[in-house]
């Protein structure tokens, strides 16, 4: 509640010298007269139902105000008039119209604020003293009876000041026709007696100032030459002129602000309600902002600002921190709550004692049963332990009986059998008895344990609640009340690229939600002044306005705020540093103004002061429109001409305007409308030229070209003929993409990596025309549209050059700033032209060659950011949509591609996975020993090298029988001959086989003619042998050797 100053009887200021007639009564105190009957007239200025409901609610007793028999309006009238109202200088004292304005003229200029926000006006009448107010009167609770009369007729606000003939703070234009009337109005506004105006008039006449026109024509320099007028009087006259000129200019443009905004109406109603409740000391019952007005404000902003991200959601969340009521409990409520808790605590202690006793009893019972269970378990184990002896005894008796039966059938053999049966029966009975008793005791133990656990849980819960209540009763409620207040953010910063509508969003959302804007929206340049100390003084005067209305949240809107609060470093200007210090000291600083917040917009958040950014608790990124929003912004063109702007044309506009900001889209739409008005032919060529002009104007480039320019070079790929092929949307059964795409210009393929571990990379061939970086732009634009990507950023050498980034420091500052901006979008894609950014250097020598990366830091940057991709699944109710972070790597150098794939862990395609699996199987198989089909020796493929295999690549000829045979057959024949010789079946060497290798005409068993590696011959490696024996197939292949056949023919011919 704003404090009402105590009333002091009015006396003439000592620096004003009255005339002789005035001196007789000038310094006599006036008696304060309490009034018994007061009529409060509440006049509505608008006829909205919400305003009617608001006034009716103020005219009813508020049940939240305990032990109060007055309505809020009655309490307001009693409080606001309790300090004394001076009407001694007014001509007509039948009606009192209070001054509900703040008029202030500071270093920034005049400021006029109406507590009632022109929603209503209030005046008073009295039934005492023939309906005439005393010269000095007041209200008094218990004496003054307040009658509230609500007037439903609206007032023409343009004539309000002219009808206001008895206000205590100003005069109307009709009353200010003469210089004396003008001076009387100043006296009333500054609480001087009307008679003082005559003294001021005489002083002005001495300076030859006779009319208001003379007064208005005085320049600032001439004011200092008026020596007859005291300085404070000159200042009051100048302030009054400026304030009323400002007020007159605002009245000329006054229209109904609520005609198109219900949110603003509800917000202003809430502000007036807070003014009334602050006056009567009940402000804690209300939140700073009306939550209904906040939600309506966001809905109304959404009509003018298309948003499919979370910009407005974040702003709405920030505004809702002002919608929480303060924690308010009086001492009686706190004491009652404490008594209730003490009662509950006593009851819990009683229950805990009962539970504790039951728990102890159950614990004892459980222990007893567990002892019995162990006792019977031991007995049962003892029975089982003796079971072998019992069985042996039984078996012994049976054997004795059987023996007796065999030797003496008429003997006492049955006795042994009966004894065996008796022992068996006794043992089984004892075993069953102990077993049943053990099972019974175990069941009883389980029941007792379950009961104990339940009672122990009840006891623990009761003990926990007792400890919580004891801890609660130890709290100091006075300290806790202050700590329960929700701290609202002292600043809201909208940042992002230029032309995205940040300033307009700030202005609309703040005004519609209910913030009190203490100045028109400013830019940082308006606050920066050339002279030392002027900027600081200007900021102090502006922020001090919030002190005059402490019951409202006052907002200061500053556009391009980075110019006001730049980083404080060694290069910072001292004037800037001083301005930042003053600003921070009034926001959570030593001169904190608790109801002041800052609303700022900037394109360069990274260049702002860190301490100031910490004060701006809520920072919202406002980015470029997504394809879906761009299509929505172009929808009015369909209404203009549906034949021209058909579905195909709209899709073309959406694609050709990729990366356009909101302002650029508005400019593009306006240029299209102008072209239509000029009756130009509207086709894709015309639209592309218009879009190119806008792209050049707003500096939107894709590499070294604008997107419309790229379209003219690749028209076939922008016409929508390949939407499915270019799409980045994959079937649901394949999962989600990982966000990484590799375009190989050497192999002419596109690789799209999938997210799941079991998945693979999708492979797709490039088109014939996609031969370089520029020609793949249509594919990327189509892909962005298919995923509704908000922004597409290309990073290549042209991008760095256009941003004047040549040295390493500037390059990485630019790259980090680009990534920081992209990461604030819900869906973004960054494309690296790797070949233009990474330089590979080949080092070759006589013995070896190697490849090194020259700009290793750039490679490391690409590698690290390629690991930060993210594709989230869709969730129901997510207004902003799932987050998507895409990285596209475009590379042509095979070595660079291979290096990148290995370093970032890029997944393989299905074919590559199959090939890798095949290689693993082959590698495992190569570690197994096998027979070489050439040299017919055993070998391990993984351990052989050149020279390990000595063989003949032809066949063997049996010269005796004139028969051709394989090496395997010849080996078999030779072994048989050796065995026969050993067994003396061969008498002489003539019976031994005469075998010749035809390939080299050497005797079988001589040195081999060929040297190589064990395994399949090179000419047979591409043949699939299936399940056939490779040794047999290779030997048959050698048997068909044509060169060997020719050699054999020549050899046999020479013999003949």
Pairing between strand 949-951 and 956-958?
unpaired
Between the CA of residue 414 and those of 402, 424, 428, what are the distances in Å?
Answer: 9, 15, 21
d(CA 271, CA 115): 8
Averaged pLDDT for residues 197-223: 79
Alpha-carbon torsion 682, 684, 689, 693, what sign?
Answer: positive
Q: Which of 615, 609, 718 is nearest to 657 (CA)?
A: 718
* pLDDT recorded at residue 835: 92
> What are residue 148's phi and psi, to 5 degrees?
-100, 125
* pLDDT recorded at residue 124: 92
DSSP string, 83-112: T-EE-TT-S--S-BB---EEEEE-SS-EEE
Where does the pLDDT of residue 573 fall: very low under 50, low under 70, confident under 90, or very high at 90 and above?
A: low
d(CA 408, CA 140): 136
Structure token pair of residue 961: 């029988």
Where does the pLDDT of residue 14 fall: very low under 50, low under 70, confident under 90, or very high at 90 and above?
A: very low
| Span 386-407, pLDDT tens digits | 888 888 888 888 788 777 777 7
* Contact in structure between 494 and 387 (CB atoms under 8 Å): no
Q: How many CA atoms lie within 13 A of 72 on its CB side?
A: 24
* Contact in structure between 33 and 143 (CB atoms under 8 Å): no
* Contact in structure between 746 and 676 (CB atoms under 8 Å): no
Alpha-carbon torsion 301, 307, 309, 311, what sign?
Answer: negative
* pLDDT recorded at residue 988: 58
| Span 819-873, pLDDT tens digits | 888 888 888 999 999 999 998 887 776 666 778 888 889 999 999 999 888 888 8
- How many C-beta neighbours within 10 Å does residue 271 have? 24
| Per-residue pLDDT at 986 exceeds 80 | no
Structure token pair of residue 308: 């499919």
Structure token pair of residue 792: 């597409």
d(CA 444, CA 366): 9
| Per-residue pLDDT at 520 exceeds 80 | yes
Structure token pair of residue 85: 């109202």
Percent of the chain with pLDDT over 70: 87
> What are residue 845's phi and psi, to 5 degrees?
-135, -175
Averaged pLDDT for residues 448-460: 89
Q: Which of 297, 294, 273, 248 is nearest to 103 (CA)?
A: 248
Q: Give pTM, 2 decimals.
A: 0.70
Please report how the helices 967-982 and 1030-1039 are oriented relative to each other, as an axis angle in degrees rounded to 10: 100
Classify the phi-psi angles of 724: left when phi > 0, otherwise alpha if psi is within -120 to 50, otherwise beta. alpha
| Span 896-952, pLDDT tens digits | 999 999 899 888 888 888 888 888 888 888 888 888 888 888 888 888 888 888 888
Q: Which of 204, 264, 33, 203 is nearest to 126 (CA)?
A: 33
* Contact in structure between 751 and 912 (CB atoms under 8 Å): no
Structure token pair of residue 327: 């924690």
DSSP string, 481-513: HHHTSPPPPSEEEEE-STTS-HHHHHHHHHHHH
- Spell 468-501 as b/e; 16+ CB within 10 A means b: ebeeeeeeeeeeeeeeeeeebbbbbbbbbbebbb
* pLDDT recorded at residue 120: 92
* pLDDT recorded at residue 571: 64
Residue 555 β-bridge partners: 517, 597
| Span 250-289, pLDDT tens digits | 444 446 888 889 999 999 999 999 999 999 988 888 999 9
DSSP string, 790-826: SEEEEESHHHHHHTT--SHHHHHHHHHHHHHHHTTSS
Structure token pair of residue 73: 């309006």
* pLDDT recorded at residue 179: 80
Helix (H/G/I), strand (E/B), else coil: 566: strand
* Contact in structure between 40 and 122 (CB atoms under 8 Å): yes
* Contact in structure between 664 and 696 (CB atoms under 8 Å): no
Q: Which of 435, 410, 565 is nearest to 493 (CA)?
A: 565
| Span 559-569, pLDDT tens digits | 988 888 888 87
For the chain, the farthest-separated pair of C-alpha atoms sits apart, in whole angstroms, at 174
Query: Which residues contact residue 992 at a Cβ distance below 8 angstroms, ignoring those fewer than 6 apart?
Result: 977, 981, 986
What DSSP character marks residue 705? B
Structure token pair of residue 478: 């006075």
* pLDDT recorded at residue 162: 37
Helix (H/G/I), strand (E/B), else coil: 132: coil
Between the CA of residue 554 and those of 92, 323, 1027, what are the distances in Å?
Answer: 37, 15, 88
Helix (H/G/I), strand (E/B), else coil: 752: strand
Q: Which of 841, 892, 831, 883 is nearest to 862 (CA)?
A: 831
* pLDDT recorded at residue 244: 66
Averaged pLDDT for residues 645-660: 88
Pairing between strand 33-34 and 516-517?
unpaired
| Per-residue pLDDT at 714 exceeds 50 | yes
* Contact in structure between 469 and 344 (CB atoms under 8 Å): yes
Query: Count of residues for the chain?
Result: 1056
Helix (H) or strand (E) holding 891: strand 884-891
Between the CA of residue 368 and those of 216, 365, 374, 449, what are the distances in Å?
Answer: 108, 5, 10, 11
| Per-residue pLDDT at 6 exceeds 50 | no
Helix (H/G/I), strand (E/B), else coil: 955: coil
| Per-residue pLDDT at 428 exceeds 70 | yes
d(CA 228, CA 28): 27
Helix (H/G/I), strand (E/B), else coil: 1046: helix
d(CA 45, CA 116): 11
| Per-residue pLDDT at 187 exceeds 50 | yes
């Amino acid at each position: 509640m704003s404090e009402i100053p105590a009333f002091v009887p009015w006396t003439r200021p000592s620096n004003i010298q009255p005339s002789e007639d005035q001196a007789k009564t000038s310094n006599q105190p006036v008696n304060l007269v309490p009034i018994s009957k007061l009529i409060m007239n509440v006049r509505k200025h608008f006829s909205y139902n919400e305003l009617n409901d608001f006034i009716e609610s103020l005219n009813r007793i508020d049940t939240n105000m305990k032990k109060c028999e007055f309505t809020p309006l009655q309490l307001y009238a009693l409080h606001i008039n309790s300090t004394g109202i001076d009407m001694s200088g007014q001509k007509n004292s039948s009606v009192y119209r209070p001054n509900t304005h703040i008029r202030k003229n500071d270093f920034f200029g005049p400021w006029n604020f109406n507590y009632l926000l022109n929603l209503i006006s209030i005046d008073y009448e009295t039934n005492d003293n023939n309906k005439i107010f005393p010269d000095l009167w007041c209200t008094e609770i218990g004496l003054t009876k307040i009658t509230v009369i609500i007037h439903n007729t609206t007032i023409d606000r343009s004539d309000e000041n002219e009808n206001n003939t008895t206000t205590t703070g100003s005069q109307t234009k009709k009353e200010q026709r003469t210089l004396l009337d003008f001076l009387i109005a100043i006296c009333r506004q500054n609480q001087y007696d009307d008679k003082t105006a005559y003294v001021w008039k005489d002083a002005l006449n001495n300076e030859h100032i006779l009319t208001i026109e003379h007064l208005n024509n005085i320049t600032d320099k001439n004011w200092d030459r008026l020596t007859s007028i005291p300085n404070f009087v000159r200042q009051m006259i100048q302030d009054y002129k400026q304030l009323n000129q400002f007020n007159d200019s605002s009245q000329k443009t006054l229209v109904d602000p609520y005609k198109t905004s219900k949110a603003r109406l509800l917000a202003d109603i809430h502000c007036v309600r807070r003014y009334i409740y602050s006056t009567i000391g009940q402000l804690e019952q209300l939140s700073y902002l009306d939550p209904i007005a906040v939600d309506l404000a966001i809905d109304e902003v959404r009509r003018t600002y298309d948003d499919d991200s979370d910009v407005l959601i974040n702003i709405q969340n920030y505004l809702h921190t002002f919608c929480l009521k303060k924690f308010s409990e009086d001492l009686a409520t706190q004491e009652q709550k404490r008594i209730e808790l003490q009662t509950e605590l006593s009851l819990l202690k009683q229950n805990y004692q009962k539970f504790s006793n039951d728990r102890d009893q159950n614990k004892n019972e459980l222990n007893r049963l567990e002892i019995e269970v162990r006792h019977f378990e031991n007995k049962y184990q003892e029975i089982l332990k003796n079971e072998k002896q019992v069985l042996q005894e039984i078996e012994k008796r049976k054997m004795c009986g059987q023996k007796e039966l065999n030797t003496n059938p008429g003997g006492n053999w049955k006795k042994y059998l009966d004894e065996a049966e008796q022992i068996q029966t006794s043992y089984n009975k004892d075993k069953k008895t102990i077993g049943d008793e053990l099972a019974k005791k175990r069941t009883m133990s389980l029941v007792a344990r379950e009961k104990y656990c339940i009672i122990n849980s009840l006891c623990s819960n009761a003990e926990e609640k007792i400890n919580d209540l004891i801890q609660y009763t130890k709290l100091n409620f006075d300290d806790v009340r202050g700590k329960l207040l929700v701290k609202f953010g002292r600043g809201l910063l909208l940042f992002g690229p230029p032309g995205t509508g940040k300033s307009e969003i700030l202005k609309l959302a703040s005004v519609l939600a209910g913030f009190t804007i203490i100045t028109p929206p400013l830019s940082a340049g308006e606050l920066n002044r050339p002279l030392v100390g002027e900027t600081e003084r200007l900021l102090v005067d502006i922020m001090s306005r919030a002190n005059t209305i402490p019951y409202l949240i006052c907002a200061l809107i500053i556009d391009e705020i980075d110019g006001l609060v730049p980083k404080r470093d060694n290069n910072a200007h001292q004037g800037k540093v001083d301005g930042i210090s003053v600003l921070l000291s009034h926001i959570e600083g030593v001169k904190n103004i608790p109801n002041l917040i800052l609303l700022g917009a900037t394109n360069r958040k990274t260049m702002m002061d860190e301490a100031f950014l910490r004060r701006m608790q809520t920072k919202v990124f406002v980015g470029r429109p997504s394809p879906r929003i761009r299509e929505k912004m172009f929808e009015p063109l369909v209404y203009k001409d549906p034949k021209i702007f058909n579905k195909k044309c709209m899709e073309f506009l959406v694609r050709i305007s990729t990366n356009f900001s909101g302002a650029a889209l508005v400019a593009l739409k306006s240029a299209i409308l102008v072209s239509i008005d000029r009756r130009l032919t509207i086709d894709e060529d015309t639209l592309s030229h218009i879009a190119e002009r806008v792209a050049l104007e707003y500096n939107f480039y894709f590499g070294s070209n604008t997107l419309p320019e790229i379209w003219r070079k690749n028209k076939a790929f922008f016409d929508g003929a390949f939407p499915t092929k270019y799409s980045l949307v994959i079937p649901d059964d394949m999962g989600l993409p990982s966000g990484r795409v590799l375009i190989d210009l050497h192999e002419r393929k596109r690789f799209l990596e999938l997210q799941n571990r079991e998945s693979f990379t999708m492979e797709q061939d490039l088109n014939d025309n996609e031969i370089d970086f520029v020609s793949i732009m249509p594919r990327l634009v189509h892909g962005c549209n298919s995923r509704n990507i908000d922004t597409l950023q290309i990073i290549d050498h042209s991008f760095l050059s256009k941003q004047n980034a040549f040295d390493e420091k500037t390059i990485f500052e630019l790259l980090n700033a680009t990534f920081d901006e992209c990461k604030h979008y819900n869906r973004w894609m960054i494309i690296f032209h790797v070949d233009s950014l990474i330089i590979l250097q080949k080092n070759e020598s006589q013995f070896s060659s190697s490849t090194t990366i020259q700009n290793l830091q750039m490679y490391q940057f690409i590698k690290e950011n390629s690991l930060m991709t993210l594709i989230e699944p869709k969730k129901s109710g997510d207004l902003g949509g799932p987050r998507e972070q895409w990285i596209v790597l475009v590379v042509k150098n095979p070595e660079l591609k291979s290096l990148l794939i290995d370093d970032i862990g890029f997944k393989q395609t299905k074919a590559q996975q199959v090939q890798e699996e095949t290689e693993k199987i082959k590698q495992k198989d190569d570690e197994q020993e096998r027979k070489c089909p050439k040299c017919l020796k055993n070998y391990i493929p993984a351990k052989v090298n050149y020279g390990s295999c000595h063989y003949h690549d032809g066949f063997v000829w049996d010269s005796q029988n004139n028969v051709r045979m394989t090496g395997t057959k010849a080996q078999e024949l030779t072994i048989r001959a050796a065995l026969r010789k050993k067994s003396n079946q061969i008498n002489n060497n003539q019976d031994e086989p005469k075998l010749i290798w035809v390939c080299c005409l050497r005797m079988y068993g001589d040195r081999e003619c060929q040297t190589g590696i064990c395994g399949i011959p090179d000419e047979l490696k591409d043949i699939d042998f299936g399940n056939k024996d490779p040794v047999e197939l290779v030997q048959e292949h050698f048997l068909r050797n044509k060169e060997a056949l020719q050699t054999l023919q020549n050899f046999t011919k020479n013999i003949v």
